[in-house]
Amino acid sequence: MMVQSAPPGEATFVCTMAEHNDLCGQFARAFGNDTFEPLDPFEEMVYVVSHHDYGWNDWDAKPALDPNTRLPAGIGGTPGRESVESNRKSPDINERRSAFCGLLSSMHSWGLFNDRYGLSSFRVRAGGSLSVPIPKDYQEGTVKMLEGEKERQKRLRDQLAADPKTRPWVEEKKLFQSYKQLQFFDTLALYFNLRNERDRKEEVYSHVPRNAKEDANVAVKNLGNGVYSFAPFPFKGDRLEVACSGRYMQPLAEGLSQDGVGAALRGLPTTAQKYTFVPG
């Protein structure tokens, strides 16, 4: 669940992980131009980018109530066991599509707990960690999950390397080009999903791949009225319009059950926040 910041007294914009992933998919389809190589393999990359958090779907259907905000518990507020299990389920779902999708999703899940392999400078909260902290109440289970994902990655990478068609996809530099693309889309979506417009200060994204050998730093600036500049501009054309679905919520009744929180969320009208991207 993505719970956006909100000015005091105003309703809070909330979106599910599936809606967050849909926004990531819009970025993926539009990525690439003369200086930034587009996704390759395109269909597989678009799939995993658009489904990399689908292990959260069960939780998002019945989210817990955050006792402090009386809103659905967002990322960072999910109990340790449920958070870790959701991150394990996501590669399971993607592997059913293909070995490549399973591999990239697994790398994403592992990277969340390990500074995104040192390939991102994005922090969910100012001054916070680059990694998802290992839950104190579920340390053993988290370590077991992460070890399992490393084993999954080796198995799937070996499988892909054995096929002449897919072998180029898992060569070291090419594989991490794909991983860095996924991280750019994910963290760019977090910028919008977790921060209201007033909180969207300039953000510099590191390790945005121009190609398998060269990265760029991309500076994003809020120009106001839903318009954001990117320098350099990594998308097709000279303008990109995207939207994220969600719903605006007021605090719910105290002590509401998870079924009740889920029902309240589904009972709200769905709307969308719209953003326009232009070259800086």
CB 124 within 8 A of CB 190: yes
Rounded-to-integer distance, Cα 252 and Cα 76, Å: 19
Task: Read off the pLDDT of each residue in 65-71 and give the average, rounded to a whole number.
Answer: 93
- Using the CB atoms, write b or e for 101-114: b if 16+ within 10 Å: bbbbbbbbbbbbbe
**Is the previous residue joined to 41 through a cis bond, with omega within 30 degrees of 0?**
yes
Distance CA(196)–CA(248), nearest Å, equals: 12
Mean pLDDT for 52-71 is 95
Least confident of 66-80, 123-137, 161-175, 263-277: 123-137
> Beta partners for 235?
31
pLDDT score, position 101 = 98
User: Cis peptide leading into 38, omega within 30 of 0?
Assistant: no
Residue numbers of the domain that contains 271: 2-279
Q: Which helix (H) or strand (E) holds 147?
A: helix 139-161
Q: What are phi and psi of 18, to 5 degrees?
A: -65, -40
Distances from the Cα of 204 to the Cα of 113, 139, 141, 258, angstroms: 21, 32, 34, 37
Place of tokens 């390939």: 119
Averaged pLDDT of the chain:
96
Number of domains in the chain: 1
* 65 secondary structure, DSSP code: B
Stated pTM of the model: 0.97
Nearest 5°: the CA angle 51, 129, 208 is 55
Q: How confident is the model at residue 134 (pLDDT cuts 50, 70, 90)?
A: confident
